[in-house]
Chain A
């Protein structure tokens, strides 16, 4: 298993500002992912955080809006830049120990409200 600490757990931000969300894992993991869950919706993958290189973004998500860092195998950050009310969502960090045949674990999420 993996224990994931995600900070902050919630925040209320002004439009036009940026928020950085941190994800800390208690063990080294190969895969780290960032998801968005809009109100009443399921999860959508934003990007895969790659250790030591640029993240791999899904269609519809760009680095300028959602810059991601992953300096080592236990830590990653997601920044939501130039926020608008449409960015109000729960943002979730997920990890998996290997690329295949493995269980995914999630943090408790960051509930973001943009006003």
Chain B
């Protein structure tokens, strides 16, 4: 059974600092890994999708890496802003069961 873990559970940084969010998964048989952002009481916004054959994806200030063999992904957010405050979720789409398994999320607060 796939298990996804996100560390840390919460993170508070001053504005301008770079953010590093970690995600680990137990079963490396995945089709892809996806990072999402969730604002309080809202749905999920897709940030980055990394296919199993890729090592990283970039979008603006966001960069996500994937090491499938070790079961790890890292989301980097450069030069954080107060608007980056949200919960960030990673999810893996597994070959077994064709479904997304979510981590517990990292709650980020960027202080002005």
Interface of chain B residues 31 through 58 with chain A (CB within 8 A): 31-32, 34, 36, 41-46, 49, 51-52
Most buried by A among B34, B44, B52: B44
- Flag if B51 contacts A111 (CB, 8 Å): no
Task: Report which of A94, A101, A107 forms a contact with B100, defined as CB distance below 8 A.
Answer: A94
Main secondary structure of the interface of A (DSSP, over half): strand
A45 touches B44 (CB 8 A): no
Of A31, A41, A43, A108, most buried by chain B (CB within 10 Å of CB) is A43
Q: A42-B103, A42-B105, A100-B98 are in contact. Are A106 and B32 (CB under 8 A)?
A: no
CB of B102 within 8 Å of the partner chain: yes
Most buried by A among B45, B99, B104: B99
Give chain B residues whose Cβ lies under 8 Å from the Cβ of A101: 31-32, 51-52
Interface residues on A, range: 20 to 34
A-B contact pairs, 22 of them (CB 8 A): A6-B43, A33-B100, A41-B104, A42-B102, A42-B105, A43-B100, A44-B102, A48-B99, A90-B41, A92-B44, A94-B44, A94-B100, A100-B31, A101-B52, A103-B34, A104-B100, A105-B46, A106-B36, A106-B44, A106-B45, A106-B46, A107-B43
Q: How far is the CA of A100 from the CA of B99 in the complex (A)?
A: 9
Cα separation A24 to B62 with both chains bound (whole Å): 30
B window 74-112: CB within 8 A of A: 89, 91, 93, 98-100, 102-105
CB of A99 within 8 Å of the partner chain:
yes
Q: How far is the CA of A94 from the CA of B44 in the complex (A)?
A: 9
Cα-based distance from A100 to B102 in the complex (angstroms): 17
| B100, A106: Cβ atoms closer than 8 Å | no
Q: Using known A-B contacts A43-B89, A101-B32, determine if residue A106 contacts B43 with beta carbons closer than 8 Å.
A: yes
- Of the candidates B46, B52, B99, B102, which one forms a contact with A103 in the assembled complex, judged by CB atoms under 8 Å apart? B46
**In the complex, which residues 7-53 of chain A have their Cβ closer than 8 Å to any Cβ of chain B?**
31, 33, 41-45, 48
